[in-house]
Amino acid sequence: METDTAPPPLTAVEARILGCLIEKELTLPDHYPLTLNALVSACNQSTNREPVMRLDESEVQRALENMKSRGWVFQVTVVGARVQKYRHNLKGKLPRLEKPAAALLAVLLLRGSQTVGELRLRSERLQAFPDLKSVEAELSGLIAYPEGPVAACLPAGPGRRVAQYAQLLTGEPGGIAPQEEIISPSSAAQPDNAGDQAWKQRMELEIELLKSQINRLKVRLGVED
């Protein structure tokens, strides 16, 4: 008799922890691995996080223990350091992922489902992508990951003007079509009414990117809407 051996999905807190560990490894390598205090601060950042969380040390510690038991994180002892530190085990869990795909996964874990344009903009601190097609190529790899999809493409429809992408480490995203209706980036970029529809989607993606850039400038300048 076969049994379901699929690992349990990450909780929202565990996803935030994993995203933070990947992010800080890529953006602050000199300060990685992270102490518990640094990890709590990273989880509770008010920037580059959606939603913003207010986790205390005990919540993060409990989640870390659960993740350690399932092989998602390691507790390490650094020579000369007085406190324990933590690092992710993404390479052990998803050995085929390279830095570009890991950067996109981190942004998806930290900020939820996003458009291609948003992902390109928001991942530039972790990994620079020359264009939208290069982002789509990495997303295709996450969707078609050999041991099972790590991300999904959510087609445009009610509540979504353009296709968005979501990570699947916390399970299937809520409020989306059944699995067979989750599509690939290539099919999202080539609707049935090719010509005009393809042009319209490209324009919408560019508009989303411009909006994100404007919002980022507003934050930097301290301008309120």
Q: What stretch of H or E contains 103?
A: helix 99-111
- At 71-116, the pLDDT tens digits run 999 999 877 768 899 999 999 999 999 999 999 999 999 999 999 9
84-120 in b/e form (b: 16+ CB < 10 A) is ebbbbbbeebbeebeebbbbbbbbbbbbbbbbbbbbb
Assess contact for 166 and 112: CB atoms under 8 A: yes
Note every long-range contact of 199-204, with CB atoms under 8 Å and residues 24 or more positions apart, other chains counting. Answer: 201/156, 201/162, 201/163, 204/161, 204/162
Q: Which domains does the chain have, with CATH numbers?
A: 12-93 (1.10.10.10), 99-220 (1.10.10.10)
Between 47 and 222, residue with greater pLDDT: 47
Q: Which of 16, 25, 100 is nearest to 53 (CA)?
A: 16
Q: What stretch of H or E contains 85?
A: strand 85-88
Main-chain dihedrals φ then ψ at residue 74, nearest 5 degrees: -120, 145
The predicted model scores a pTM of 0.77
The percent of residues in the chain predicted with pLDDT above 70, rounded, is: 75
Distance CA 39, CA 57 (A): 9
Assess contact for 36 and 81: CB atoms under 8 A: no
- Tokens (6 digits) for 98: 């390279």
- At 16-41, the pLDDT tens digits run 999 999 999 999 999 999 999 999 99
**In this model, does residue 194 exceed pLDDT 60?**
no
Amino acid at 58: S
Number of Cβ within 10 Å of residue 147's Cβ equals 9
**In this model, does residue 151 exceed pLDDT 70?**
yes
- Tokens (6 digits) for 90: 């993404």
Main-chain dihedrals φ then ψ at residue 170, nearest 5 degrees: -95, 10
The percent of residues in the chain predicted with pLDDT above 90, rounded, is: 67
Assess contact for 88 and 18: CB atoms under 8 A: yes
**In this model, does residue 188 exceed pLDDT 90?**
no
